[in-house]
Structure 1
Amino acid sequence: MSITTFLELKNVTRRFSVEQPLFSAAPRELMAVKDVSLCIEKGTTLGLVGESGCGKSTLAKIVAHLLPPSSGDVLLEGESIWHGSHEVIHSLPRRIQMIFQDPVSSLNPRKSIGKSIQEALDVHRVGSSADRKKAVNELLERVGMRAEHYGRYPHEFSGGQRQRIAIARALVLNPDFIVCDEAVSALDVSVQAQVLNLLADLQHDFGLTYMFISHDLAVIGHVSDVIAVMYLGRLVELASTQDLFDKALHPYTQMLLDAVPVPVPGRRSVGSNQTGDLPSPLAPPAGCPFHPRCKQAMPVCSKVLPQWLEIDKNHHVLCHLYA
């Protein structure tokens, strides 16, 4: 682990027990996340991309200390967030926060937005009541809202405004690390751009480190320093944003890039050369998890799981094509 590594995932796996079919003796298990290892450097953004159902949100909850891993660990500046000391565990709400996809369901409709944001300060008894309200009002203005919005309720705001409120709530304890789980996917494109620019400004001003999760590779490319591509619970490629867009190695990453719309009138995107749908995580294919959809698949792909290889400096891939 380098001295600048802020957060490290070490062989993180998460299994879920699934209700067995009638008359079935064999237990069923869903492997949502499988042996994920990566590092996030301080002050940077790691983008995590993949299709719906690939395990992105499960991994986000593990990193945010909301869901324990079945095996493996998460280290925050070298200290385990799952097996560390009481002091480390107790400090996590002040250090790690999460912005969810849907601000409507993540905000309490019975509380004013000011009270929702201030709740964390009240729980941790930060300053006096007047100090807390002042801090919330300042934070509302910092995310593009107004202090007079303090007493209003979530239903009185647009989707973009509610997401700004959710961002303010995540920032109120002055954390180091924020997990953004599909934080802009429910917003209109123009509002997405505003929220992404706000997140970039906040990162610069507060020295934040982000894990940004999305199924949209164009959004991920805009905000990320490093991109991790996930497929059926496994990382299949990890590289800097520039390297990934210039020279994607894994056929799945190439498929995602081919699917990104080309913003030039009259010009068509390349189009995917892959077929099929995401397999069921309850019955994953043997060997390489992507081989049933890959037109470059070889006989070995259906039998042997590829090794995690470093092809270029800090550019890793899980694929037999490079063995």
Structure 2
Amino acid sequence: MRDLVIVFGSSSAITNPHHHHRRCYATAPESNRKTKPSPSLTKLLPSLPQQHSASSPAPVSATHSLSSHFSNVVRWIPDGSLEYYADFASKLAEDGRIEDVALIAETLASESGANVARFASMVDFDLLSKAISSNLRQGKIESVVYTLKRIEKVGIAPLDLVDDSSVKLMRKQFRAMANSVQVEKAIDLLEILAGLRFKIKELVDPFDVVKSCVDISNPQLAIRYACLLPHTEILLCRIIHGFGKKGDMVSVMTAYEACKQILDTPNMYIFRTMIDVCGLCGDYVKSRYIYEDLLKENIKPNIYVMNSLMNVNSHDLGYTLKVYKNMQI
């Protein structure tokens, strides 16, 4: 049976694992290696029809996706080749090509009967961890996050691949994104990392994220982020207050309605913040709406909420006295 050889722009090579005891590595003159850029794995992986002779290699197709090509390899090679795939993935990791490693993992995970746990146990974690760090040093935070999500499908724990130095690199890039127009992309990535059990609060200052969301007048985005963190109610108050200082009462009410959906139990700190913001924006009518909302839910406001309500409505002595009497009940 003929050996299949797939040549990469680095030291990585793939051979037919029917003959995995005979590995063929394509060689090139040293001068070529130094000057030829590392091509994309997508462009170098050939199609696999077996009728090609050894003297007539399979053509390279730049239009077909790597996923299609690699899936063909997986179906063609028997199940006993997981060691081969793990070695191949490790070589790609050594070259820093984490997206190609992720594609191998993702494709194997989609194959019924593939022992992905065995594959994961044989991949060189040290090389993969170094590749993650290398990509982060190049500013490729988005590539890293999506790679971590994809390789988890074969049981590779993302947290095991991100050491302290990588966390510092992630923190630096997320903080830069949080303070720019890229805040939405940052939150998209943080949602993925939260699903991978990363500690989101350690990656970026929550107040910086909220400030950026307020600056772009996007309460929904701010609420999405707040839901990623413990003590969500504290951050929700910050969101409400931030939009209140801006005088954006529409966004304040959007955040308030979201709070009622998100929180399991009433939070007096949020109600007090809402009423204070109504006073800040000069909308005493909305403060009464908040109070009536509490009464409809058979919730007894605490003294701090009532004091805020009276302060906001201090111009209306009749209403203030009515609130004061309700406090005595």
- Flag the structure with higher helix content: 2
- Flag the structure with higher strand content: 1
TM-score class, shorter-chain normalisation, is: under 0.3
**TM-score, normalization by structure 2:** 0.24
Q: Which has the higher contact order (CA 8 A, sep 6+)?
A: 1
- The structure number with the bigger radius of gyration is 2
